[in-house]
A and B are shown apart, each in its own frame.
Chain A
Amino acid sequence: MKSGIFAALLLVAMSASGAFAQGAPIKLADVAELSGGGATVGNNWKNGIDLAIEEINAKGGLLGRKLEVTHADSQSNPGVARAQVQKALDNEPYVLLGPGYSGSVKVTSPLAAEAGITQIMGGEAAELTQGGNKFLFRTSFGQQSSMPKVAKYVNDELKAKSVAIVWVNNDFGKGGRDVMTKEFAKYNIKVAADISTEAGQADFAADVSKIKAAAPDAVFIYLNEEESARILKELKRQAIAVPLVGETTLVGQKVVELAGDAANGARGHVGLTTDAPVDLVKAFREKFVKKYNYVPDHNGLKGYLAIYMVKATTEKMGKVDAKKFADTLHGLTIKAASEPGILMDVTFDEKGDIDRQGFLVEIVEGKQVVKQVLPKLN
């Protein structure tokens, strides 16, 4: 009798907690650069996240539970990022998303690791994943894996003996420039001009005339989209005819839109691009444009992918378990065939770096043309 009541109570309690588990949303926390110098980065990231969550929730959620995300603004300032991540962690999220600036990642990743919460971020600086942090994951290639591909291309295909490097003087640009300089040294390619520029710079006349004076075989450009467009215009104006090589930010659709004709001939390595010749990516782009009325840059893709990383990992575990999340994601391969949201097959290694297909593209008559597909390593 007594045990009967007890069993009944237990049953009620269990079903209640079960119902609770069924109904309670899964909390995710995003801290991103929604204002300040990185606002474009952060807002793309945020929009990508929101789009993915909307899709998943529309299809019944993750393991039957809705996803819920809070967005917090880091003001592109590491000190504020730290406060907001602290706040997010105090609420014990399932997974922490962001930030996008490498400096902000550096200041926040020890906090997430200490709390045992997985952090999926947008930073690309090489050193982020070198510190042995077991809870930190990228959403795109780190510079240590994308830059060697560009350097190889400059050496093998362009046969350049000297290059000019133009970079934007923030952590993104400086990071790329430093890795690139080392790579060029390996191929004995001379850096004929090393030109730093400011974020938001409008006038590239002096920079381009420096390139002109250095007369390199190729120019490596590592700027944000808007500045890329401006320097392309100026390069055209000063009639510099050598190959222009860069990364996603030189050959994206946005740059073509802003630079017009001047973008023709620019080429580069693209890890993540809405212009990739992949049907799923094209579909993503359409959905994004429909919802937000503009074409996202690679940060939009990163945010979108971050959510599908959460989905795939959770489904792999079969339950919502924050403690086991990072372990599960390490070494995980997510196939686009089984999880279309991941867009392209991807593998995460023990450091949290990713392995994925990449592309070498060139702008031809205002369109990205894929010249070479760089296969996934394993």
Chain B
Amino acid sequence: MSNLLDLLVAGLATGAIYALVAVGFTLLWQTSQTINFAQGEFVMLPAFLMLALMHAGAPFWLAIILGILLSLLLLGLGFKLLLVDPMLRHGVLPLAIATMALAIGMKEAVKQFFSAEASPFPSIVPAGDISILGRVVSLQSLGVLALAIAVVIGLTALLNRTSIGHQMQATAQNPTVARIIGVPVERMILLTFLINAFLVALASLLITPIYLAKFSSGEVLGQAAFIAAIVGGFNQVRGAIAGGLLIGVVDNLAAAYVSTQYRAAVPLVLLIVIILFRPQGLLGRPEERTV
């Protein structure tokens, strides 16, 4: 029983990481039908931008700020203008393929211009463990979980309480109608890309001390976040959070009670079952729009 609790806590800690990456995924899908296969790499890159800035002599706090700004520029604005915009109206697939190519390109660039080695990354959350109900949990994991929750609350507030949020929701639900009633659809879509870029930069900052800065670290993250997003509900922010936490826990329980060799299979089977019997995901709403 105590073992089970340990696993749950550890699973939630990892799940929070997946959740954080998955949120951006769902945002991009909602407003622009972009399936971003490079989402994992999007989380990998900001840490390297910050490391590069620190190598250039910038102090940590400045590197963080500049790193986030660069992420907004490259992963938000640049990604949207250069890759998404020209391809969006040609359907989901070519763009999905292009993001796969982007993922390869980003990995290779980091490897070539930085290093194939894993580098340690300073943590903004103090390293160390804390005891909760007798379970030892690392402060870093708690930091990730706290941020994930803050992101959901923040985003939900933004979407439901502010007029920009309402406009974004209108854009997501039906861009044609939104345009007719005067929503600046283009600007709203751009905004989601910027929010995604900001989120991945934050995620990078929190996750990299745990995962280490490595060119390939996005592969595992991207796929886990992908599964989390679908399981939770591809079109709901809180769905992504729930999916992330669930996948983290299920993964740990599977490793402990099913088989370590097949631990990766359990979330996938869950994914298949959910798609077949509840395709909108656990917390998602049925899609009204066909793509």
Within the complex, are A and B direct neighbours (CB within 8 Å)? Answer: yes
Taking a contact as CB atoms under 8 Å apart, the answer to whether A237 and B138 are in contact is yes
Mostly, the B contact residues are helix
Question: CA–CA, A258 to B211, complex, Å?
Answer: 10
- Knowing A206-B10, A294-B117 are in contact, say whether A258-B260 is a contact too (CB < 8 A): no
- Knowing A209-B256, A238-B136, A294-B115 are in contact, say whether A202-B120 is a contact too (CB < 8 A): no
- Knowing A39-B216, A202-B210, A238-B6 are in contact, say whether A207-B260 is a contact too (CB < 8 A): yes
Encode contact with B along A28-48: 1 for CB under 8 Å, 0 otherwise.
000000110101101110000
Q: How many residues of B contact A (CB 8 A)?
A: 40
Q: How far is the CB of B11 from chain A (nearest CB, A)?
A: 7
Taking a contact as CB atoms under 8 Å apart, the answer to whether B118 and A209 are in contact is no
Residue of B nearest to A47 (CB): B116
Q: How far is the CB of A138 from chain B (nearest CB, A)?
A: 23
Residue of A nearest to B3 (CB): A209
Q: Is A15 interfacial (CB 8 A cutoff)?
A: no
Question: CA–CA, A197 to B14, complex, Å?
Answer: 16
Q: How far is the CB of A285 from chain B (nearest CB, A)?
A: 15
Task: Among B214, B216, B252, point to the contact of A205 (Cβ < 8 A).
Answer: B252
Taking a contact as CB atoms under 8 Å apart, the answer to whether B7 and A209 are in contact is yes
Q: Is A257 interfacial (CB 8 A cutoff)?
A: yes
Instruction: List residues 1-46 of chain B with CB under 8 A from any CB of chain A.
Output: 3, 6-7, 10-11, 13-14, 17
Residue of B nearest to A197 (CB): B260
Q: Is A210 interfacial (CB 8 A cutoff)?
A: yes
Residue of A nearest to B210 (CB): A202
Taking a contact as CB atoms under 8 Å apart, the answer to whether B116 and A43 are in contact is yes
Instruction: List residues 186-224 of chain A with CB under 8 A from any CB of chain B.
Output: 195-198, 200-203, 205-207, 209-210, 212-213
- Knowing A39-B216, A43-B116, A200-B219 are in contact, say whether A206-B252 is a contact too (CB < 8 A): yes
Taking a contact as CB atoms under 8 Å apart, the answer to whether A202 and B118 are in contact is no
Q: Is B156 interfacial (CB 8 A cutoff)?
A: no
Q: How far is the CB of A38 from chain B (nearest CB, A)?
A: 10
Taking residues whose C-beta sits less than 8 angstroms from the other chain, chain A's interface range is 35 or more
Taking a contact as CB atoms under 8 Å apart, the answer to whether A257 and B6 are in contact is no
Task: Among B108, B120, B220, point to the contact of A257 (Cβ < 8 A).
Answer: B120
Task: Among A206, A213, A226, A238, point to the contact of B118 (Cβ < 8 A).
Answer: A226
Among B11, B116, B127, the most chain A Cβ lie within 10 Å of the Cβ of: B116
Residue of A nearest to B264 (CB): A198
Taking a contact as CB atoms under 8 Å apart, the answer to whether A258 and B212 are in contact is yes
Taking a contact as CB atoms under 8 Å apart, the answer to whether B220 and A202 are in contact is yes
Residue of B nearest to A237 (CB): B136
Residue of B nearest to A200 (CB): B220
Question: CA–CA, A39 to B115, complex, Å?
Answer: 10
Q: Is A169 interfacial (CB 8 A cutoff)?
A: yes
Question: CA–CA, A233 to B3, complex, Å?
Answer: 18
Residue of B nearest to A202 (CB): B211
Q: Is B226 interfacial (CB 8 A cutoff)?
A: no
Q: How far is the CB of A8 from chain B (nearest CB, A)?
A: 54
Task: Among B10, B11, B120, B255, point to the contact of A258 (Cβ < 8 A).
Answer: B120
Q: How far is the CB of A251 from chain B (nearest CB, A)?
A: 17
Chain A positions near chain B (C-beta within 8 angstroms): 34-35, 37, 39-40, 42-44, 169, 195-198, 200-203, 205-207, 209-210, 212-213, 225-226, 229, 237-239, 254, 257-258, 260, 294
8 A-B residue pairs with Cβ-Cβ distance under 8 Å, sorted by A, are A44-B117, A203-B10, A203-B13, A203-B251, A205-B7, A207-B255, A209-B7, A209-B256
Chain B positions near chain A (C-beta within 8 angstroms): 3, 6-7, 10-11, 13-14, 17, 107-108, 111, 115-118, 120, 127, 129, 136, 138, 210-212, 214-217, 219-220, 248, 251-256, 260-261, 263-264
The 9 closest A-B pairs by CB, nearest first: A205-B10, A206-B255, A43-B116, A203-B14, A206-B252, A206-B256, A200-B220, A39-B116, A196-B260
List 19 other contacts, CB 8 Å, given A200-B219, A210-B260.
Answer: A39-B215, A43-B117, A44-B117, A169-B261, A198-B264, A201-B220, A202-B211, A202-B220, A203-B10, A203-B13, A205-B14, A206-B251, A206-B254, A209-B10, A209-B256, A213-B3, A226-B212, A226-B214, A257-B120
